Amino acid sequence: LAKTTQPISMDSYEGQEVNITCSHNNIATNDYITWYQQFPSQGPRFIIQGYKTKVTNEVASLFIPADRKSSTLSLPRVSLSDTAVYYCLVGDINSYDKVIFGPGTSLSVIP
């Protein structure tokens, strides 16, 4: 299981773009990168997943450089409702292996 490192917390003003970077120096060839969002007293919600380059969906973008040793979750024009904890997870696509949650990044959006 590749270990991940993220900032513990971040603050941002409403309307700004937020970029949260995750380091995963030991990522393996078959590993995908997945991001989850968790609000207090709720289960984590799947945001986005990628293997390389850039992935975009209706809520976020995920940028992965060629060496795949890091990834950046980009949230465009955040609102107060984006205040949550964001987890970066790395795992093997061909495995039913468990994933281990790190402490995540607590994002606070300020009016």
Partner 1 sequence: GAVVSQHPSWVICKSGTSVKIECRSLDFQATTMFWYRQFPKQSLMLMATSNEGSKATYEQGVEKDKFLINHASLTLSTLTVTSAHPEDSSFYICSALRVGRGWRTGTRDTQYFGPGTRLTVL
Site of interaction with partner 1 (CB under 8 A): 30, 32, 34, 36, 41-46, 49, 51, 87, 91, 93-96, 98-104
Nearest Cα neighbor of 74 from 21, 2, 3, 9 is 21
Nearer to partner 1, 3 or 77 (CB): 3
Beta carbon nearer to partner 1, 42 or 81: 42
Min dist. Cβ of residue 33 to partner 1 (A): 10
Q: At closest approach, how far in Å is the CB of 30 from partner 1?
A: 7
Of 19, 100, 12, 88, nearest to 48 by C-alpha is 88
- Name the DSSP letter for residue 84: E
Question: What DSSP designation does 68 have?
Answer: -
